[in-house]
A = this chain, B = another copy of it.
Amino acid sequence: MSEMLPQGSVVGILGGGQLGRMLSVAAARLGYRTHIFEPAANPPAADVAHAVTTAPYEDKAALAAFADGTHVITYEFENIPTAALDLLESRRPIRPGRRALAISQDRILEKDFLTGLGLNCAHYAAVNSAADLDSALTRIGTPSILKTTRLGYDGKGQARLTTPADAPAALAAMQGAPAVLEGFVNFTREISVIAARSASGEVAAYDPGENVHKAGILHTTTVPARLTAAERSDAVLIAARVLNALDYVGVLGVELFVTPDGLLVNEIAPRVHNSGHWTQNGCAIDQFEQHIRAVARWPLGDGSRHADVEMLNLIGDDILRVPEFARQKDTAIHLYGKAEARPGRKMGHVNRILRKG
């Protein structure tokens, strides 16, 4: 394997939200400085970064100066404009690479990629018109869900169809954007695997977590997930297959549905993932450091789990519960330093250690 990135090198991070913030802390722990690129002013990551560039992704001069001040670039979210990536990639290595980004930016590319690997997804069909939606409904039926192919997250850009009569309203909700109809999956639970691949091709996965959503936003992740031994190993092998197929370097999140017929892949995220925050208090090496290790060409760290953990997101006014959590045993609080607690905004999370050892 190539040389580890020298001490004192600068890791560029695209995106200055809470994921960038926690990546920045992990990079510092390994002796690196971080430079955050973020269009919004005063991003959460700025509090723990060596340098911050505040500029839009269309500002080529800012992007070039940012790239030139870094030794390697990574990102905390997948919706980075292609032109910005082209410019950055011409100057510095970007890890994970472009292919993972391109695939995860587009639900249809993603599903084609996953099914091409022999993995199971919900039935799906591209929808660009009323005629497309009619024919997709004939094949997939209801209940089903229509989603924009790009830029969806936390339940945004989605419309549920209970009967075919819901089609016009669902299509209107897409506001003309390309969409995909997905068959409803009758799952018993939703899990995710946070897995990593190093620059030398070494793969490691954290124990799968079980996710509960509320109003389309992750509410809790609990480890261990309630899985059979076969499901557990299937989940980890699916993540490994995705990582290897993408020649991936870094941490990847894979969301899976557990069904009576086996595991279906819901989606992949080419980055550290909210459902992996429990690793901060359940493992010697958490997902943020694991990602930086991969990006900086270190060997992967030991991600074995030493505790049962429940991660609870603090959304909006949940931040008011911090004094209550601060008094509780076996409870670690992680706040993002966001000034304003808007509804639906992720303000922090709490890792509750349920059982040690």
A: residues with CB less than 8 A from B are: 4, 7-8, 21, 24-25, 28-34, 46-50, 281, 284-285, 293, 298-299, 301-302, 304, 306-307, 319, 322-323, 326-337, 339, 348, 351, 353, 356-357
Contacts and interface: CB of A to CB of B under 8 A. Distances in A.
A226 to B, nearest CB: 21
Given A25-B28, A48-B24, A330 B284 contact: yes
A74 B32 CA distance: 25
A337 B48 contact: no
A309 to B, nearest CB: 10
Nearest to A34: B47
Contact of A337 (B7, B285, B336): B7
Given A50-B46, A284-B353, A335 B24 contact: no
Given A33-B47, A47-B28, A47-B33, A8 B337 contact: yes
B47 A50 contact: yes
B357 A31 contact: no
B326 A31 contact: no
B337 A33 contact: yes
Given A323-B4, A335-B7, A284 B284 contact: no
A355 to B, nearest CB: 9
B326 A293 contact: yes
Nearest to A31: B335
Given A25-B28, A25-B48, A29-B335, 13 more contacts: A4-B322, A7-B322, A7-B339, A28-B48, A29-B333, A31-B322, A281-B284, A284-B353, A285-B332, A299-B326, A299-B327, A301-B331, A306-B306
Contacts of A348: 31
Nearest to A3: B323
Nearest to A353: B284
12 contacts: A4-B326, A7-B337, A25-B29, A25-B48, A28-B337, A30-B333, A34-B47, A46-B50, A48-B49, A299-B326, A306-B306, A357-B357
Nearest to A334: B29
Nearest to A33: B47
Nearest to A329: B302
Contacts of A299: 326-327
A351 B299 CA distance: 17
A82 B29 CA distance: 33
